[in-house]
Each structure stands twice: as structure tokens, then as C-alpha cells.
A and B are shown apart, each in its own frame.
Chain A
Amino acid sequence: MASRKSAAVFLREHGGPEVLKLEDTEIGDPGPGEIRLKQTAIGINFSEVHTRKRPSGTHSNPLPLILGREAAGVVEAIGQDVEGFEIGERVAYGLRRQQGAYTECRLIPAHELVAIPDRISDETAAAIMVKGMTACYLARRTFEVGPGHSVLVQAAAGGVGTILCQWAHHLGATVLGTVSSEAKADHARAHGCDHPIIYTKEDFATRARELTNGEGVDVIYDPIGEPTWEGSFKSLKQRGLMVNYGWAGGRVTELEPLDLMNMGSLTFTKTALYNYANTRENMLGLAHELFDVVASGAIKVEIGQSFSLKNAALAHEALETGKTMGSTILIP
């Protein structure tokens, strides 16, 4: 084995999309427990836009930094004490806290990797690892969606939303989803959302109540935060569950327990993939369940946009200006 050169997108200072620059770097041999991966497709997640703009409050990464939490590729070299993988094997990963995916080649702990089944392409795997495992825990662990449930998916045309709507629909629920435009409403409708609500045109909480005979929904999945906070609670049925899994629109710092009572005995949870995929066993459970449902055809993965790795800045710009639909990937 020998080290090799690789192109990677570095973040050397926080700022606008333009701070993402392609550079050459050297990748060494894999150490004990590691694998060197030649990546074929890389997924982009909204949280990376936050990290690019400013140091993250909860677990900040020192600069310089290579962003990115999910990718697919081929095993190129195997370090000591690694079992269960072979050179040339197709694998994917979705990281919880660490970064480092915007690169042509990388080292990664073998325990982060999952073998990709034949029926799933590299591009699809790269696009769904973080978003799909997130959708999986939301629909199957945080709340077990089933027939008769009504669910409201905020950002229904987004990366997680597109998968979550299809999954909830597949499980027999009535799916309401918020989107910002007619085009996104069409996209959501084509991906399992029974009732897209264009929140720029109508009050989504009022509409959600109308669509549920005034009762409200059983569960809300909200990755937005501050702008949708009140409306989300107002859309819930008595005894309903509000799940926040992101702050794309801004963070909320206070929750009054008595407000939950006064709004109808509600429950609130704030979730993160790193809790649900906290062990290799739990991570594999989510990944396998995801691959099964995608391979069955029940969930279609739409790569809405694909950018060359060197154009990562353009991809970020499209994402943060709300111009993307479905998943966005980078190709090295």
C-alpha cells in the first residue's frame, strides 16, 4: 500500500459558499481499524451549510475542515484488524457528528461502513445515508407511523422530507406536507405527500386542521425551528407529538412545559441521528431497513441535482437559496 493524492474541498474560513475551495491533498495508508475509500458519490446535507457559515455550537470542528457526512465508494485499501470488508467492495456511510466527505478519497473507520446491496446504485446510497437513516428513525423509532395516522412533514420537498413523506405514506398514514412553491408541491405530491400545503400562500396550521376534520395531526416532523414553531404546535391533535430534528430556520431556546399541557397534553422531542445510530448495531438496523424499503421500490430516491465535486460552492448556493428539490450530490 502507498499513500495517494486526492482532490478535496476545504473549508479554511467560515463564510459564504465561495469559501469552499477544491485543493489537492495527500491521503495516507489506512491505520488499524481503518479503510481507504475511493468515493464515487457524495451527499450534501443542510447542516453543512450551517457549519460552513459559522462554528457549530454543540460540537464545533476546528478549521481547516472537509465538510460532508455521507458518501458511497469502493474499498481501496484495508488497515489492520479490519474484518468483514474486501478490496473492491461497494460501501457507503452516513456520519453523525464527524465530517470529511467532500473528497475524492478518504480514510474512515471500518465500523462506519455499510455494504451497498446490488440493487442500489452508488449515487442513490450517497444521497440517502444520512437523510434516509434520519427518515427511518423518525417514522419507525421516534413515532411508529401506521395506518390511520395523520402526519405533517415540514419541508416536504427537501432531502429528508422527500424520503419521509414516501415512507409515512408506505406505512399507511395520511401525509400532509409544507412546501414553499407550486413546483415543490408537485414534487411532494409525486413523493407520497397526500396534501401539500404551500405555506407562503396559506396558514399551514389552519389548513392542517381543515384537512383533519379540525382534529389536527398525530405527529409533526419539523426541521425548521423558529419560523414554524408555533404553527407546528397548533397543527397537533390532542395528545400529539411534536418532533424537532433541526434548526434550518433558527433555533428556539425555550419550551414551557405548562404550554404543552395547555395546548392539549402534547409531547415534544428533539432528536438527532447520533442518538439513534449510537452503536454499530443500531446504525446497521437503520441502514438495512432503509436499503430494504428503497430496494422494494416503495421509496423512490430522486437525485434532484448533481454537481461536480469542484463545484461544491454552487451546490451550497442552490441549497441555501431553496432552489433544490430532492437530494443533491457531488461527483468526484
Chain B
Amino acid sequence: MTKAIRIHETGGPEVLKWEDVELGDPGDGEVRIKHSASGLNFIDCYQRSGLYPIELPITLGTEGAGVIEALGPGVEGLEIGQRVAYAGGQMGSYSEARNISAGVLVPLPDSIEDQTAAAMMLKGMTSHMLLFKCYVVKSGDTILVHAAAGGVGSIMCQWANALGATVIGTVGSDEKAEKAKSNGCHHPINYSTEDFAERVSEITDGKGVPVVYESIGKNTYEKSMDCLENFGTLVNFGNASGPIPAIEPLELMRRGSLALSRPTLFNYTADQEMRLKAAGDLFDVVGSGKVKIEIGQTFPLSETAAAHTALESRQTMGSTILLP
């Protein structure tokens, strides 16, 4: 028997229920993990609300860290007592313990603590995907990161800064602007008091940026396109204000042969080689101190609903973790 946060229907944070669940032995190719911390991400809210359809009932959560408690048949290369973490793939990290396919796990190096891992695996691997795959950020580039003080934003600002890019970031308050600045964001823009497209134009002498990392969605995407230079890429990886509605392909051409990219981490981590490379790069940059993982708030796992409310009302800074 173990405890987990489950949903039986989609809806607001109130559908998240703290329940007893039966946990069997790990099946073929699986291991049982005892979680020491789980991560909170916007994707969890999208799955809870029904924006991203999933089968119910289910234990939510796509990011966690812990210790291997039991090995199922056919598992190689892992051992009981080993520290591991994971992001993406099978849901179920909102739990004290769970079974999970060994094929999604990444062994944790000594330099990375469990809570840090839970706070960064999904956001850090997402940042890796965004900065190295969806668009390759080069030294000298100027990039625009929305929600620059958020979980992914905080990591991206630091990492892009370390790559030699000039980072412009949007935030919702002066407090968050300070936070973004301390994370290496060269030009934080408080979008509640300034027009971010106008500011980007000023900062880039009217040239625009080659990439906008768009996690807000509906409320910002049109102005985000205004910020792009010819052949720029709008990388839409989140929907904090609602999904971007259908766009007219011709509009992308009229605005300068723009590209629209809509990645999801799963397609970048299902392959073992890609996953371990991304995790290795993340561990290196965090280990070097160039990217610091700030755990902005922690909630007891049993109070996950309050954590969802905080995230959706834009009250959080940095990463949020859930402790069993």
C-alpha cells in the first residue's frame, strides 16, 4: 500500500485526491522507486484540466527522483539502492512509490541531490530540447524567453546566458523581473506595464530575434510573431494562457517565412541515446554551477492541489517540488 494523488475526473485543482493505492511488484522491465521528491509542471495542470486528454483514473505527475527499491525481471544496468530520476513518459510521480519502466530512468550522479533532480529533470531536459534542438542557440544570438522567472524560464535564462546569448525575458511583476535578472536575463520586460514587442524591437534596433520561446500561448503568440526576424522560429511549448488557436499558414510567410515549432519533451527523450545525452549535458551545466536550480517552493505531496493553484495563478518562482 502506498499514498498517491489521483484524479477520477478532469477539472480544477479540487479534482486532485490523496488516496491509498495498491502497489504490486514491478513487472517485466520495470523497477519500483521510492520517491524522495516529485516535480510540479504545467503539463500536469493541462492533463488535470483536460486540455491534454488522458485516460482516467490516473496518478498524475511526470517528474520524480528517488531510490530503487525493487527490480522486475529483465532489468539490467540498475541496482537496488541506486539513486535515479526521470522526466516525461509514464505519468505517476505524484506518489510515495511507484513502478516505472527502467527504460526512462537516468542514474543520478553524486553531485545532484534528489530534490534538485526532482526540481530540474523535466524543466532542465525541456530547456535542453529548446536551446539545442528546436533552435540551436549560438553565442551572439538574442533570444526571447517568456515566463522568464518560471521553472523552465529560470533554467533557460541561465543556460542561454552561459552559451553567450543575449537573453530578453518577459515576466509578470517587478519582483519577477529582479529574479530573472539574477538568473542571467539581460533584459527582463514586465509585460503588465510594458509592450514586450515594442521593447524587443528597441532592444534589437528593430531587427527582431531569431527565436521566441512561447509558453504563454493564446495571449502572447501574435506579439511573439511580431518579435521575430525573417526566418525566425516560434517555439510553442506551453499554453499557460490557453493554447494558440489555428493559425493561417500564409500568415507565417507574410511575416517573413517564419517557422512554427510545437515540441513536446517525450519526442526528445524516448530514444535512450538522446535522453542520456540531454541528461548528461544538464548534469554537467548544473554541476559546473553555471545553472543553479532554485527550489522556489515546496509542498507536501498530500497538498498538491494547493501547489496547482499557486502555479496556475502565477504565484510561484523557480521550481516547485512535492515531498512525500
Contact = CB atoms under 8 A, between A and B. Distances in A.
A261 B231 contact: no
Interface string B258-287: 111111101110000000000000000000
B249 A58 contact: no
Contact of A252 (B230, B249, B254, B262): B249
Contacts of B310: none
Band of interface residues on A:
20 to 34
Chain B contact residues: helix, strand, loop or mixed = mixed
Interface stretch (A119-127, A262-270, A308-316): A262-270
Interface string A223-265: 0000000000000001101001000000111111111110011
Interface in B222-264: 230-231, 233, 236, 243-244, 246-250, 252-254, 256-264
A244 B264 CA distance: 22
A269 B256 CA distance: 10
A261 B129 CA distance: 14
A272 interface: yes
A108 to B, nearest CB: 24
B233 A267 contact: yes
Contacts of A264: 267
Nearest to B53: A262
A244 B258 CA distance: 11
Contacts of A244: 249
B267 A265 contact: yes
Contacts of B268: 239, 265
A257 B257 contact: no
Nearest to A269: B259
Interface in B265-316: 266-268
A12 interface: no
B263 A265 contact: yes
A258 B267 contact: no
A239 B249 contact: no
B231 A239 contact: no
A6 interface: no
A58 B254 CA distance: 9
Contact of B259 (A252, A267, A272): A267
Contacts of A253: 248-250
B138 interface: no
A271 interface: yes
Nearest to A272: B253
Contacts of B248: 253-255
A141 B257 CA distance: 11
Contacts of B260: 255, 257, 260, 267-269
Contact of A142 (B134, B231, B244, B262): B231
B267 A275 contact: no
A68 B134 CA distance: 38
B8 interface: no
A83 B140 CA distance: 35
Contacts of B247: 254-255, 257
B133 interface: yes
B263 A269 contact: no
A216 to B, nearest CB: 12
B267 A256 contact: no
A268 B249 contact: yes
Nearest to B266: A265
Nearest to B253: A270
A239 B250 contact: no
A257 B243 contact: yes
Nearest to A238: B267
A321 interface: no
Nearest to B234: A257
A278 interface: yes
B264 A257 contact: no
B259 A265 contact: no
A257 B250 contact: no
B262 A269 contact: no
A266 B267 CA distance: 10
B263 A239 contact: yes
A273 B258 CA distance: 13
A276 interface: yes
A239 B267 contact: yes
Contacts of A238: 267
A272 B246 CA distance: 21
B229 to A, nearest CB: 10
A91 to B, nearest CB: 26
Given A270-B249, A270-B253, A258 B230 contact: no
Considering residues A141, A254, A270, which has the most beta carbons from chain B within 10 angstroms of its beta carbon?
A: A270
Nearest to A263: B262
11 contacts: A239-B263, A254-B246, A255-B247, A255-B260, A257-B247, A264-B267, A265-B264, A265-B268, A269-B252, A269-B260, A272-B257
Given A255-B249, A264-B267, A275-B231, 17 more contacts: A239-B263, A251-B250, A254-B248, A255-B247, A260-B262, A261-B263, A261-B264, A265-B263, A265-B267, A265-B268, A266-B262, A267-B260, A267-B262, A268-B261, A269-B252, A270-B253, A272-B257
Q: Which 7 A-B pairs have the closest CB atoms?
A: A260-B262, A269-B259, A265-B267, A275-B257, A254-B246, A267-B261, A265-B263
